[in-house]
Amino acid sequence: MIPTNEQENYELFRDALSSTLLQNMALDTPKERRRAKGRQNNDRSRIALEAKEKTLRSENAEDSLGSSDAEDLAEFIDYLSSEIFPSLPTTLRALSYANIQDDPSLSDTYSVPLTLTDTENLLTTLLPSVSESLSTYALIPNTDSLPNLLAPVLESYITAASTPPPLDRTSAAQATECELCGREHVGLSYHHLIPRSVHAKVLKRGWHKEWELSKVAWLCRACHSFVHKIESNESLAREWFTIERLAEREDVKKWVQWVGRVRWKAR
Range of the domain at 36: 4-162
Residues 105, 207: one domain? no
Does residue 206 lie in a domain region?
A: yes
Residues 209, 158: one domain? no
Number of domains observed in the structure of the chain: 2
Average pLDDT by stretches of 10, the chain with 267 residues: 91 87 61 41 53 46 50 80 95 94 92 94 91 74 78 93 68 74 81 93 93 88 88 95 94 89 54
Residues 53, 93: one domain? yes
Does residue 194 lie in a domain region?
A: yes
Residue 126 near residue 84 (C-beta atoms within 8 A): yes
Residues 111, 225: one domain? no
Peptide bond into 113 cis (omega under 30): yes
| CB neighbour list of residue 175: distance below 8 Å, 6 or more residues apart | 169, 188, 218
Closest CA to 13 of 2, 23, 25: 2
pLDDT of res. 62 = 43
Q: Give this prediction's pTM.
A: 0.59
Going from the C-alpha of 22 to that of each of 18, 130, 225, the distances in angstroms are 6, 17, 48
pLDDT of res. 262 = 64
Residues 99, 214: one domain? no
pLDDT tens profile 192-204: 999 999 999 999 9
